[in-house]
Structure 1
Amino acid sequence: MMELNGRPADPESLKALALVNYGHFTSMRVDNQRVRGLALHMERLARDCLTVFDARLDIDRVREYVRRAVSGQDGAFVVRVSVFDPALDMGRPSSPATPHVLVTTRPSGPMPLPPLRAKSVPYVRDLPGVKHLGLFGALHARRAAQLSGFDDALFFGPDDLVSEGGTWNVGFIDATGSVVWPKGDVLPGVTMALLQQHQHHTHTTAPVALGAVRGMEAAFATNTSIGVRAISAIDGIALPTEHPVLASMRDTYLSLPGDPV
Structure 2
Amino acid sequence: MMELNGAPADLEAVKALALVNYGHFTSMRVDDQRVRGLSLHMERLQRDCRAVFATELDMDRVRECVRRAVAGHDGSFVVRVSIFDPALDMGHPSSAATPHVLVTSRPTGQLPMPPMRVQAVPYVRDVPAVKHIGLFGALHARRAAQLDGFDDALFYGPDDLISEGGTWNVGFIDREGSVIWPKAEVLPGVTMALLQQQHEHTVTHVTREAAHGMQAAFATNTSIGVRAISTIDSTPFPTEHPVLAALREGYQAAPGDLV
When normalised by structure 1's length, the TM-score is 0.99
Counting aligned pairs with the same residue, the percent is 75
The 2-side partners of 1:37 and 1:60 are apart by 17
Question: Which residue number corresponds to residue 229 of structure 1?
Answer: 227
Q: Per the alignment, in what secondary structure is the counterpart of residue 176 of structure 2?
A: coil
2:242 aligned residue (232, 241, 244):
244
Q: CA deviation at 1:252?
A: 0.2
Question: Which residue number corresponds to residue 191 of structure 1?
Answer: 191
Question: Which residue number corresponds to residue 206 of structure 1?
Answer: 204
The 1-side partners of 2:103 and 2:212 are apart by 41
Amino acid at match of 1:229: R
The 2-side partners of 1:109 and 1:210 are apart by 30
Question: Which residue number corresponds to residue 88 of structure 2?
Answer: 88
Matched, 1:54 2:54: yes
CA deviations over 1:148-176 (Å, ceiling 9, x no partner):
00000000000110000010000000011
Consecutive aligned runs of 4 or more in structure 1 exceeding 6 Å deviation: none
Q: Per the alignment, in what secondary structure is the counterpart of residue 117 of structure 2?
A: strand
Q: Per the alignment, in what secondary structure is the counterpart of residue 134 of structure 2?
A: coil
The 2-side partners of 1:184 and 1:160 are apart by 11
Q: Per the alignment, in what secondary structure is the counterpart of residue 231 of structure 1?
A: strand
The 2-side partners of 1:221 and 1:214 are apart by 15
The 2-side partners of 1:197 and 1:60 are apart by 26
Q: Per the alignment, in what secondary structure is the counterpart of residue 167 of structure 2?
A: coil
Question: Which residue number corresponds to residue 255 of structure 1?
Answer: 253
Q: CA deviation at 1:41?
A: 0.1
Q: CA deviation at 1:15?
A: 1.5
Q: CA deviation at 1:214?
A: 2.3
Question: Which residue number corresponds to residue 128 of structure 1?
Answer: 128
Q: Per the alignment, in what secondary structure is the counterpart of residue 62 of structure 1?
A: helix
CA deviations over 1:78-118 (Å, ceiling 9, x no partner):
00000000000000000000000000000011000000000
The 2-side partners of 1:112 and 1:157 are apart by 29
Q: CA deviation at 1:215?
A: 1.6
Alignment of 1:31-50 (within 5 A): 31-50=31-50
**Contiguous gaps of at least 5 residues in structure 2:** none
Q: Per the alignment, in what secondary structure is the counterpart of residue 15 of structure 1?
A: helix
Q: Per the alignment, in what secondary structure is the counterpart of residue 163 of structure 2?
A: strand
Higher deviation after alignment, 210-219 or 41-50: 210-219
**Contiguous gaps of at least 5 residues in structure 1:** none
The 2-side partners of 1:224 and 1:31 are apart by 11
The 2-side partners of 1:24 and 1:36 are apart by 20
How many residues were matched structurally?
Answer: 259
The 1-side partners of 2:85 and 2:212 are apart by 45
Amino acid at match of 1:15: K
Q: Per the alignment, in what secondary structure is the counterpart of residue 251 of structure 2?
A: helix
The 2-side partners of 1:43 and 1:131 are apart by 12
